[in-house]
Structure 1
Amino acid sequence: MRICIDPGHAGRLTDPGAVSPFTGVRESDVVLSMALMVQRYLQAVGYEVMLTRTQDEQSETDDLSYRTNLSNSWRADLFVSLHCNSAGSSSAQGYEIWTSPGQTQGDILATKIFNQVADEFPDRVGRTDYTDGDPDKESRFYVLMYTDAPACLVETAFISNEEEGQLLANPAWQDRYARAIARGITDYVGGLSI
């Protein structure tokens, strides 16, 4: 089983993603740290794991098409993109998991990860859209539309929220989140008839 983990955004010279106004922590750093943890957990149970980036900086050509092409050319079985949410209001909180529109294998993957995150963090808000019967939200995000493998995008928490920004800066909390994502992936794979 080949899993592609995409730590969203890039580095200081390109795109740090959102930055916490409370801690100064950068989205690109948080999700890279978590992606490396997810990789370790999945490799420990025998999966092949590739990250779309393994360091802070990226080259100028390392854009969204680079990420999807990397996953597709490696023939990944699953693709999970990691992000931190941000909003203009510091009161916005919670986690979201996104898939492409319609019912796909990505919806099943997203639900498995959502369930593990909800179990790990019962005190956090899961921001959902159950109109199609599952908790994921749907969008035509580039990495979801142009990745051949079942794909989802995890918005871990709001970096713009003071409490969640503090949590995102905490390596122990990142580790708990990474384990929940890895468990969701293994739940999905266990449900496949391979």
Structure 2
Amino acid sequence: MAKVCIDPGHAGPTTDPGAVSPYTGLREADVALSVSLLVRSYLCAAGHEVCLTRTELEQPETDDLGYRTQFSNDWGADLFVSLHCNSATIPSAHGFEVWTSPGQTQGDVLATRVFEQIQGEFPDRYGRADYSDGDPDKESKFYVLVYTKAPACLIEMAFLSNEEESCLLADAAWQDRMARAVARGITDYFGIVGGDTD
């Protein structure tokens, strides 16, 4: 049984709601938690042990990124996956992204599996990829990617600043499809690296 830490981005409506849709008022923190809970359900059904860095709509202490990475490290996670919604000043910006820390790590393997599953689930959505190093993930020194000991990736599911994608992010059926895709990407990763990590 593998141990997977799922990180619902941001911390809640009053402390750190993340991006907010100008069209629906939908908050990134709420979407991230909804999808994360679904991912947990699917991974548990597949036999994995799952912890979330927050499980409520309002958990101010999780606004500290150090808390999130320490939580994952102390628990001994085998993987860390952070879920977010994107936003841009240009309303036409759209698509999904999967990020890892710089360099070639096991996080790249994880990100590729997740990217491929999201692309397969949503062939009509634009995958904002960077193939300059041979795989689709983008790279950045995001705190939660650099300071987690486990292979890690960060998923930007879609843009709250895009009217069409904001409506998709608000749709329960779409959230469920995204959660299934993310969970499949994670189980694909364990299939590649050898299954259970015990």
Name the TM tier (shorter chain).
Answer: over 0.9
1:74 aligned residue: 75
Q: Within the alignment, does 1:3 sit opposite 2:10 as a pair?
A: no
1:110 aligned residue: 111
1:52 aligned residue: 53
Q: Whole-Å Cα distance in 2 between the matches of residues 61 and 121 of structure 1?
A: 31
Q: Whole-Å Cα distance in 2 between the matches of residues 100 and 114 of structure 1?
A: 15
Q: Within the alignment, does 1:96 sit opposite 2:108 as a pair?
A: no
2:191 aligned residue: 190
Displacement after TM superposition at 1:185 (Å): 0.2
Q: Is the CA contact 2:28–2:84 (under 8 Å) kept in the aligned structure 1?
A: yes
Q: Whole-Å Cα distance in 2 between the matches of residues 190 and 61 of structure 1?
A: 31
TM-score under structure 2 normalisation? 0.96
Displacement after TM superposition at 1:61 (Å): 6.3
Amino acid of the structure 1 residue aligned with 2:72: S
Q: Whole-Å Cα distance in 2 between the matches of residues 120 and 63 of structure 1?
A: 33
Aligned sequence identity (%): 70
Q: Is the CA contact 2:61–2:67 (under 8 Å) kept in the aligned structure 1?
A: no
Alpha carbons of structure 1 residues 85 and 61: separation in structure 2 relative to 1, 3 Å: closer
Higher deviation after alignment, 8-17 or 147-156: 8-17
Cα offsets for 1:131-179 (capped at 9, x unmatched): 1000000000000000000000000000100000000000100000000
User: How does 1:1-194 map onto structure 2 within 5 Å?
Assistant: 1-60=2-61, 62-194=63-195
Cα offsets for 1:88-124 (capped at 9, x unmatched): 0110000000000000000000000000000000000
- Partner of 1:191, secondary structure, is helix
Over the aligned positions, Cα root-mean-square deviation in angstroms equals 0.9
Q: Which runs of 5 or more structure 2 residues have no equivalent in the other structure? A: none
Alpha carbons of structure 1 residues 24 and 61: separation in structure 2 relative to 1, 3 Å: closer
Q: Whole-Å Cα distance in 1 between the matches of residues 156 and 77 of structure 2?
A: 21
Q: Whole-Å Cα distance in 1 between the matches of residues 62 and 174 of structure 2?
A: 32
Q: Whole-Å Cα distance in 1 between the matches of residues 96 and 175 of structure 2?
A: 13
TM-score under structure 1 normalisation? 0.98
Q: Whole-Å Cα distance in 2 between the matches of residues 52 and 64 of structure 1?
A: 10
Structure 1 segments of 4+ aligned residues over 2 angstroms from their partners: 59-62
Q: Which runs of 5 or more structure 1 residues have no equivalent in the other structure? A: none
Residues paired across the two proteins, number: 194
Alpha carbons of structure 1 residues 61 and 49: separation in structure 2 relative to 1, 3 Å: closer
Q: Whole-Å Cα distance in 1 between the matches of residues 4 and 162 of structure 2?
A: 30
